[in-house]
Amino acid sequence: MQILPTSFALPPLPYLVVLLGGAGLVTALLSAAEPEIDQRAVVSLLPWMAIGGAFHAFEQLALYPPLYEPLFGTPAVYLTTLLLTGGVWLALQAVGIVRGNEDTVVRNLGLVGTAIFVVLVVVRIWQSIAQPTFSPVWPAVSLIVALAVTALVVLAISLWRTPVFVRTRYAGPVVVFAHALDGVSTAIGADVVGASEQSPLPRLIMEFAGQLPTADLLGVGWLFLLVKLVIAAAIVVSFNRYLADEPTEGALVFSLIAAVGMGPATNNLFLFLAPAF
């Protein structure tokens, strides 16, 4: 059975060596710099996760020169995004130390990431606005529905287990939102836009949904969304004490879990702006 996405391919060896070496160096430098990592960091890293998804979308649209294209395929884009994020984080940490305001580093990391992501959104809109398939409707709908679903799930968790919400008040909603957006956008892609799913597990889930009596009425994407929400909520509930007891390690784990949802979600939204499938 296929496990990896159909687009999964390691970059040429020179690129792989540079990416792995750079990722190792950045990780070591960050570990030595010991930046403050808590739940606020999970929020600040969210736009960087989205940047990774945007980078990969541009690669799928063949917008990079051939020399740089291998840096943004799957899985190379994860390392490329790590290098960019870590490099900016190190620079901000150095500036914070020099100026004596290290408390603002995490906030500034989020602001810089947000600014870069906005630039990428503008570039994508400018690049696709003249195309006959340009439509911002479904990306906007995906975002609005994901926010609404996230609010409902977080509210349900807070009413069911209020201490869980208190312990995960920043990181928990980020995880739920990232996977809600992935689930919603994937469902819209499958049932509305006509996108083909490259990852085998979501494809299997939606194929199963297609065999249910509800397929004609609800489509096939709803089951994938439901699975994503259940898993995201279960992770938040199960790891809430770990996040409280080990704030640094917990924040890193929650960031990784959120990235698995936010990257593919942003990739979907960028492709939906002017579908080519």
Give residue-wise pLDDT tens across range 14-60: 999 999 999 999 999 999 998 989 999 999 999 999 999 999 999 99
Specify whether 107 is located in the same domain as 139.
no
Q: What is the dihedral of CA 170, 172, 176, 179, to 10 degrees?
A: 90
Specify whether 80 is located in the same domain as 173.
no
Residue with structure tokens 């060596």?
Answer: 17
DSSP 8: B
Q: Dihedral sign for Cα 133, 124, 114, 8, please.
A: positive
DSSP 192: I
Q: Which of 91, 108, 128 is the last residue of a domain?
A: 128
Specify whether 117 is located in the same domain as 151.
no
The number of CA neighbours under 13 Å toward the Cβ of 132 is 0
Residue spans of beta strands (DSSP E) within the chain: none
Specify whether 117 is located in the same domain as 143.
no
Specify whether 237 is located in the same domain as 141.
yes
Strand-pair partners of 8: 74
Separation between Cα atoms, residue 148 and residue 152, nearest integer Å: 6
Separation between Cα atoms, residue 80 and residue 166, nearest integer Å: 34
Specify whether 275 is located in the same domain as 143.
yes
Number of separate domains in the chain: 2
Cis peptide before 75 (omega within 30 of 0): yes
Angle 220-225-227 from CA coordinates, rounded to 5°: 105
Specify whether 165 is located in the same domain as 241.
yes
Q: What is the span of the domain harbouring residue 157?
A: 132-277
Specify whether 178 is located in the same domain as 203.
yes
Q: Which of 66, 99, 128 is the last residue of a domain?
A: 128
Residue spans of beta strands (DSSP E) within 50-100: none
Q: Is 4 part of a structural domain of the chain?
A: no
Q: Is 245 part of a structural domain of the chain?
A: yes
Distance of CA 116 to the CA centre of its chain: 15
Q: Which residues of the chain have pLDDT under 50?
A: 1
Separation between Cα atoms, residue 65 and residue 246, nearest integer Å: 43
Phi/psi of residue 160, nearest 5 degrees: -80, -45
Residue 74, helix vs strand vs coil: strand
E strand or H helix that includes residue 148:
helix 137-160
Q: What length is written for the chain?
A: 277
Taking a C-beta distance cutoff of 8 angstroms, is the pair 179, 214 a contact?
A: no
Separation between Cα atoms, residue 87 and residue 113, nearest integer Å: 12
Separation between Cα atoms, residue 178 and residue 159, nearest integer Å: 21
Taking a C-beta distance cutoff of 8 angstroms, is the pair 175, 254 a contact?
A: yes
Separation between Cα atoms, residue 140 and residue 32, nearest integer Å: 41
Specify whether 148 is located in the same domain as 78.
no
pLDDT, tens digit, 9 for 90 and up, residues 253-277: 999 999 999 999 999 999 999 886 6
Please report the pLDDT score of residue 6 as a whole number. Answer: 62
Distance of CA 103 to the CA centre of its chain: 25
Q: What is the dihedral of CA 84, 69, 77, 6, to 10 degrees?
A: 170
